[in-house]
Structure 1
């Protein structure tokens, strides 16, 4: 039996370790670029010098950001460590780009209201949910019905950043619109079932462990796509979650219409959630838990946004 091609080996290694489809595509792309940059040489023929040359090319010639450069490095190191089983001392000496620390963009409550009012339908509901819960964009689009708890007024975020679960608050103002939305989604799911579909993607072989779960209402996405599509891994025809760029585009257009200053995006709503909680007197440890930050130092960055201009101290000029 022929040995699988290198990139197929990479895919297999990623899937065995339960990396997301998004990460799989990103890692494959960077490994391809690394090999092509060095004239299609096999990675086993290369080492520290070639990796450093590629990263330098990205920084100097392509002007990529430090986070993008580190992403490329992570993909290449995965190739050497997990696929080629090449654990060498020089891997630890590869210099990682230093990430630029920036104060997050935050909107005022009034700007948030104007932005949300500019949106319509499902886009408005999703944006309100992100601002009201502090969820990341992908956490919102991947939200399952079973993880919305109206009784305890909370949402369970599954497999968030760092593959961790957490609980965040469910705003009371969203009870009725969210229930109405989910009623429409349930009707759509029942139609899918009647048409012989109604299956949803389940992670970590849950579909094999619980054969009927993928058809159950509780496992369906709260924000499903408008059409069914073919799963690129299994080939199964399913209704996946909504395409996240749809909301990003809607918010971008709303920002242009309103003429809001700064770089406002879906993530700005999450930043605003954290900052407005702190402004309202919430404990920083509580905000840390709601956001899912592993270290409180990450949450501390929002304290720099409060009362901008010298971290809240009063300028001596204002005392004259």
Structure 2
């Protein structure tokens, strides 16, 4: 790894600067750098001006052959594409060999995994530990306001307007959106902020603080969710447990709103989707709803 860093040190450093300037989260910066380092390692010391589209396709093919998901393969492609795009903008490179390569087809019709309202209540009851009120507030923001885990991570104290009961959220694409805080959620958020842990830096503005006094990390939030989901499904046989994760709470929020009659445009705004096509994944209909709809048919058949 040291040899790799030395070989492409200038380009990797430039890419990091470019991502910071573009407003990428630390989590995304870390992920993209790891993907790009993996790609550069596959070049066996080849100069970047000698890299062709074939080399990128060969790398992505080797990634797929290792058995990673199509989504992971597409993310690695996006990382490499972003890397060359950054170098071109910074006038360190002329061509982007990752441009124009097709994405792997993922399952477009796969229904998102979500919890219904009864399951959500049981999930919230499974939240335990010394920092229960903090964690409860976090998961309420995700399941009843649709926040992404990265958006919870970046929340600052000044983003919550107590008087207007609204939350200012910095989402994907460096876009801000304002979300009303439901009346029933506000007391839990207020309590979590009242019990907010003291940060080790006086000027730390993070809304949610770890036990070490730093901004609560994305990884920590995901782990807390994993531990809670384990307790939530503790009495269910392992073979029947569902693949829940923190992001499934956001799926639950979207599903609930649609079931209660919210239109797609409103849901798109609340979720912070740049395209309504992304929002349509939540228009799935459950088997129960199909059966109820079919039961409403009044069928009149001729006598045999």
**TM category, shorter:** 0.7 to 0.9
Moved more, 138-147 or 49-58: 138-147
The Cα shift of 1:310 comes to 5.3
Change (3 A) 1:92 1:125: closer
Corresponding residue of 1:267: 247
Compute the RMSD of aligned alpha carbons: 2.8
- Residue 188 in 1 paired to residue 231 in 2? no
Corresponding residue of 2:275: 295
Give the TM-score of the pair, scaled to structure 2: 0.81
The structure 2 residue matched to 1:278, chosen from 246, 258, 270, is 258
Runs of 4+ off more than 4 Å = 306-313, 315-320
- Residue 257 in 1 paired to residue 244 in 2? no
- Residue 57 in 1 paired to residue 37 in 2? no
Q: Are the counterparts in 2 of residues 251 and 265 from structure 1 also a CA contact under 8 Å?
A: no
The structure 2 residue matched to 1:124, chosen from 111, 136, 158, is 136
Corresponding residue of 2:40: 35
Post-superposition Cα deviations, 1:100-127, rounded to whole Å, max 9, x if no partner, equal 2221112121111111111131222221
Unaligned residue ranges in structure 2 (runs of 5+): 1-7
The Cα shift of 1:157 comes to 0.7
Q: Are the counterparts in 1 of residues 16 and 29 from structure 2 also a CA contact under 8 Å?
A: yes
Change (3 A) 1:177 1:96: closer
Q: How many equivalent residue pairs?
A: 280
Q: Are the counterparts in 2 of residues 157 and 168 from structure 1 also a CA contact under 8 Å?
A: yes
The structure 1 residue matched to 2:187, chosen from 162, 166, 176, is 176
Change (3 A) 1:154 1:305: farther
Corresponding residue of 1:151: 163
What is the rounded CA distance, in whole Å, between the counterparts of 2:43 and 2:288 in structure 1? 48
Give the TM-score of the pair, scaled to structure 1: 0.77
The structure 2 residue matched to 1:241, chosen from 196, 208, 216, is 216
Q: Are the counterparts in 1 of residues 15 and 83 from structure 2 also a CA contact under 8 Å?
A: yes
Secondary structure in structure 2 of the residue aligned to 1:113: helix
